[in-house]
Structures are given as C-alpha cells and as structure tokens.
C-alpha cells in the first residue's frame, strides 16, 4: 500500500512533464474516486440519481487539466482536491439547472451520460455552497472538513488523514461547522 501511495505521488508530480502519466494514475485512483462519487450521490431519490461513472470521469479530467500549483503532496492531497472538484461539478450543474428553471426552459440537457439532479437537491446544493463559501472565509479548515465529510462522504478518520489533522479536531470542526451552516441556511 505504501509503495502504491509513493507511486501515485510520483505519477501525479510527473503529469505536467509526461502525458502518459495520466494513463498510469487512473488505475491507482479510479476505485477511490468511484467510492467518493458514490458516497456523494447516495442521497438522491430513485430515478433521479447521478451517474457515478460520469462524475468520476468529469472530476478526474478536471484534476488532470487543472493541477494544483507546484507538486501534488501525495495521495491525501489528491483526494482532498478531488472532493473539491466533485463539489464544484455538482454545484455548477445545480446552478445550470436553476438557471434553466428560472428562464422557463426546463428541457434539461443531460450532463455527461444521464446525470440528473433532483430539483430539491439542486437548490439545496446551491444554498449550501453559498453558505460554505462564507464559512471558508471565516474558517478555511472547517470548510474543508465539510467538503470532505458532506461532499466526499469521508468518515472522521479519513477526513483527518486527508487534512492532516487529528480525528478530535475533525469532530470539533464538523460539529461547529454544521451548527454555523444550519444557522446561516435556516436562520
């Protein structure tokens, strides 16, 4: 496992220099990205689920086409950024859906391979994203905890590993961030 983590870091860091690295990286991250996408999409109603595979591919391409400045800082850095990429993809799609609804044109074009977002979930994502942007201005780490826990579906230990903080800190930040977000959204 440690060899695989080191291999992933080396491959990620060579992406800008070696185009074949993309093909080497995907098998190492695909299952984890798929799990990440599946956890994010599990709350959708039957008949209105997003296509996990399409979300994984969209997030992967976003990560590869827009790598962070400097080198990747290993596996946890990659998956932390992947959680953010999936959040952005889902929120952008929800915004697109909302704009079409307001313009009176509800003939929604499928997003990559039949990705659909229920109306309720789309509106919820937009409101949550706006509140989360405000939270990130006040406390970036709490925003990242919410991103990992809510958008990526990581548990406390996984979130702690990705963010490089203790599980106790994740629990405190998660509790505080949820309370703050609730007051912003419902207050």
For 80, the token pair is: 């932390």
CA-nearest of 121, 119, 120, 148 to 132 is: 148
For 88, the token pair is: 């952005």
pLDDT tens by residue, 44-87: 544 444 577 777 878 878 877 777 676 666 677 778 888 888 88
User: How many beta carbons lie within 10 A of that of residue 160, not counting itself?
Assistant: 20
pLDDT tens by residue, 115-134: 445 666 778 888 889 999 99
Task: Return phi, psi of residue 111, to 5°.
Answer: -100, 105
Mean pLDDT value across residues 17-43: 72
**pLDDT at 174 > cutoff 80:** yes
**pLDDT at 114 > cutoff 50:** no
Q: Are 47 and 25 in contact (CB under 8 A)?
A: no
d(CA 183, CA 16): 43
Q: Are 97 and 89 in contact (CB under 8 A)?
A: no
Model pTM score: 0.66
CA-nearest of 81, 103, 76, 82 to 36 is: 82
Using DSSP, state whether 125 is helix, strand or coil: helix
The domain ranges of the chain are 2-186
Place of tokens 């706006």: 130
d(CA 159, CA 178): 15
Task: Return phi, psi of residue 64, to 5°.
Answer: -75, -40
């Amino acid at each position: 496992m440690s060899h695989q983590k080191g291999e992933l870091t080396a491959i990620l860091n060579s992406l800008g220099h070696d185009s074949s690295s993309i093909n080497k990286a995907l098998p190492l991250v695909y299952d984890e990205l798929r799990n990440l996408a599946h956890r994010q999409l599990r709350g959708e109603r039957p008949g209105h689920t997003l296509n996990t595979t399409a979300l994984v591919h969209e997030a992967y391409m976003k990560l590869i086409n827009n790598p962070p400045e400097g080198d990747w800082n290993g596996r946890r850095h990659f998956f932390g950024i992947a959680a953010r990429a999936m959040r952005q993809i889902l929120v952008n799609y929800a915004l697109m859906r909302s704009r079409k609804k307001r313009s009176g044109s509800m003939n929604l074009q499928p997003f990559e391979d039949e990705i659909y977002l229920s109306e309720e979930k789309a509106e919820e994502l937009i409101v949550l994203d706006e509140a989360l942007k405000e939270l990130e201005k006040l406390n970036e780490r709490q925003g990242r905890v919410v991103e990992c826990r809510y958008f990526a579906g990581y548990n406390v230990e996984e979130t702690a590993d990705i963010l490089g903080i203790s599980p106790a800190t994740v629990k405190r930040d998660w509790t505080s961030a949820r309370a703050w977000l609730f007051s912003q959204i419902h207050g």
